[in-house]
Amino acid sequence: MENTIQILKQKNIRVTPQRLGVYKILCEKKQHLTVEDIYREIKKRFPVLSYATVYSILQLLCEKGLVSEVRIIPEKSSFEVHKEEHHHFYCKKCKKIFDIFMHPCPTLREKDVEGHTIYEVHGYFYGICKQCKKG
């Protein structure tokens, strides 16, 4: 808990129980959560917290670089604790999102393409996951 508070303070985020709660949910679940998932979970601790407040907390955490928004499903955002650069795989059968860690191609390692500077890359793969292929 103290470590989580320190992380928020290091990013100049005013620590509130609600912000701490949203960030802790993302850290504890270690998966891609929608605003709805987080809202459902946080309502157990803060029954009067609004959906809009959860969304604005997530936007703040994204702006400060603690959380990443994943838009692999166009009509629905998912969020995860920011970690090393990786891509995402979406299983069209079970609807789960998986992290994919790959060695970057030379262009991405150099962070430059045709004179343009690359700050971040989002790679999305769609298909059937290995668990669904088995069954």
Q: What is the pLDDT of residues 74-97, one digit of tens each?
A: 888 999 997 778 899 999 999 999
Do 129 and 100 lie in one domain? The reply is: yes
Of 81, 97, 113, which one is at a domain's C-terminal end?
81
Residue among 55, 83, 57 nearest 68 (CA)? 83
Do 60 and 112 lie in one domain? The reply is: no
Number of domains composing the chain: 2
pLDDT for residue 35 is more than 90: yes
Q: In what order do the strands lie in the sheet with 97-100?
A: 97-100, 87-91, 124-127
Do 38 and 95 lie in one domain? The reply is: no
pLDDT for residue 2 is more than 80: no
Kindly report the length of the chain: 135
Q: Which two tokens stand for residue 73?
A: 């499903």
Do 113 and 47 lie in one domain? The reply is: no
User: Residue 133 corresponds to which amino acid?
Assistant: K
Do 57 and 26 lie in one domain? The reply is: yes
Do 77 and 91 lie in one domain? The reply is: no
| Under 8 Å between Cβ of 20 and 8 | yes
For tokens 């298909």, name the residue.
127
pLDDT for residue 68 is more than 80: yes
Q: H-helix or E-strand containing 87?
A: strand 87-91
Domain of 11? Answer: 2-81
pTM of the predicted protein model: 0.84
